[in-house]
Amino acid sequence: MIRKPVAAGRFYESDAARLKDAVASYLRKVEPVKGKLLGILAPHAGYVYSGKTAGQAFSYLMDADFDTVVFFGTGHALPVKGGALLYKDAFETPLGRVEIDSIIAVKLLEQPKIFENVPEAHEREHSIEVQIPFLQVLKKNFKIVPILFNTHKLEILQEAGRAVAEAVKGKKAVICVSTDLSHYPPADVAEKADKSLMTALGIAIRNKDMSYFDTACRLILEKERYSLDTVCCGQSAVIAGVCAAIELGADDFDLIKYTHSGMVSKDDSNVVGYASGLLLKSENPLDGRIPLSVEMKKELLYYARKSIELYLKEKKIPAASLSDTVEFNQPGAVFVTLSKRGSLRGCIGTMNPKSTLLDAVRSFAVASASEDPRFPALTASELSMVSIEISILSPLRRASGHDEVKEKMHGVYIKKGYLSGTYLPQVWEHFKTKEEFLNSLCAEKAGLAGDAWKDKSTEIYVYTVDAFREE
């Protein structure tokens, strides 16, 4: 079966010579990446809108050594339960035919709960087709594995990514994730949403946790639900493709180009966002924290205090749209601690991000002042005597046992049955030994026996924090 072009003449030129010239104009000579390039992210709109942006990503494959490109495409036309494959024959564009890597495709089809051969899902789909001419201009000899996704079942997408990684290990293969970003908000909303989401993608990769990206998509969409149709039309493809890249060693993402359709149409009233980027195994990987400057931390502390002040006056926390500071729009697992003359006056937070960082700081500042059951609600007259500390948590990591707990570095979360509790890393200063710390955490915070941390049935999780306080 030859999959004939359906986007030629609509999304890109149908004439071979004009198409080749257009694609060549989008490509440029680029500096080698620092590290190993495992894949790219590229938009899939009409070339007049996103061709230059896509070309930025494909330019980095100009000198790359690969035989196969695994496409993680967005299935717009037909719902699929996992990944929809074509497992044999070829894709055709005006520049010729590209053979499907049947060896890899057939290997994937050995997992029928995840992958299916669904030719009809590809028949009218453009998200992979529009990428192929870039590769045809760059390189003559290569094969493709075309896979379409649109399920929102995170576990299925993660399994799909791991399966692809296993299938291509030892082969000269690169990943291409095909997606556009926000659909139809005003340009200013698109830029905040899209740049926030790409920041979240980098954090997710550094933490090897694509559930973080999934959460970011949901939170951004909730924030701007009246103007956004979707925050990322290829959300499923991104999760599956990046999971594959992570499994192959990716630990960073480099956003190299961002645009939106209004930059071409000159109509900023409702736009579509486009980004291109690189999936990398970096020589110097960053840590997985939300990248906050000193000034950003001061601003968060300001918002925490102002939120308490407003709540004490009006008994409410006003709703907020996306922040102009993209770091504040990241999913945030936060604890806010209040101290009065050096003594604890309140501390409430969450182990897992359920809101944006800024919203979490605001709400937990108020909760620490008014809802901590260990203390009476803070009064307006006390606020000037209280200092505020914010702790932003890294993702929880399950430890195999207490030996993995590092003193004065890790926060620890203990769970056994329906009982649980946590101590932040700052609590180490009150204990002389790890045993005293863990005994207290179990008995005084989690309501367990003091030595429950020795029991193999007790779950122990560790995390680190980025903590900062008012001066």
Which tens digits make up the pLDDT trace of 28-61? 999 989 899 999 999 999 999 999 999 999 999 9
* DSSP result, 181-204: --BSS-HHHHHHHHHHHHHHHHHH
| Residue-level pLDDT at 320 | 86
Residue 319 pLDDT > 90: no
The strand pairing partners of 128, in sequence order, are none
The alpha carbon of 302 is separated from its chain's Cα centroid by a whole number of angstroms, namely 27
- At 155, phi and psi to the nearest 5? -60, -40
Residue 220 CA to residue 343 CA, distance in Å, equals 37
Q: How many helices (H) and strands (E) does the chain have?
A: 13, 19
Which residues are CB-contacts of 329 (< 8 A; sequence separation ≥ 6)? 192, 196, 199, 216, 219, 220, 223, 322, 323, 356, 357, 358
Domain 294-392 classified CATH 3.90.180.10?
Answer: no
255-296: pLDDT as tens digits: 999 999 999 999 999 999 999 999 999 988 888 999 999 999
Beta strand ranges found along 208-318 (DSSP E):
252-260, 273-282
* Percent over 90 (pLDDT), the chain: 95
Q: Where is pLDDT greater, at 308 or 140?
A: 308
For residues 370-402, b (16+ Cβ closer than 10 Å) or e, as one string? bebeebeebeeeebeebbbbbbbbbbbbebeeb
What is the rounded distance in angstroms from the CA atom of residue 35 to the CA atom of residue 282?
4
Burial of 144 from C-beta contacts in 10 A (0-12 / 13-18 / 19+): buried
> What tokens does 16 get?
């071979």
Range 135-158 average pLDDT: 96
Domain spans in the chain, listed from the N-terminal domain onward? 2-282, 294-392, 397-468
Residue 286: per-residue pLDDT: 84
Give the burial string for 115-139 (b: 16+ CB within 10 Å, else e). bbebeebbeebbbbbbbbbbbbbbe
Cα 23 to Cα 131: distance, rounded to the nearest angstrom: 10
The residue among 390, 437, 385 whose CA lies nearest residue 413 is: 437
Fold topology of 2-282: Protocatechuate 4,5-dioxygenase; Chain B (3.40.830)
Q: Would you state the CATH architecture of domain 397-468?
A: 2-Layer Sandwich (3.30)
Helix axes 47-59, 16-26, angle to 10 degrees: 60
- For 66-112, the pLDDT digits (tens) are 999 999 999 998 999 999 999 999 999 999 999 999 999 999 999 99
Tens of pLDDT along 436-446?
A: 999 999 999 99
Residue 311's CB: how many other CB atoms inside 10 A?
A: 20
Q: pLDDT, tens digit, for every residue of 105-116?
A: 999 999 999 999
Q: Which two tokens stand for residue 204?
A: 């997710």
Q: Mean pLDDT across the stretch 224-244?
A: 96
Which of helix, strand or coil describes residue 284? coil
Q: Tell me the sheet residues that pair with 161.
A: none
In sequence order, the 6+-apart residues with CB closer than 8 A to the CB of 420 are 413, 414, 446
Single-letter amino acid code for the residue at 406: K
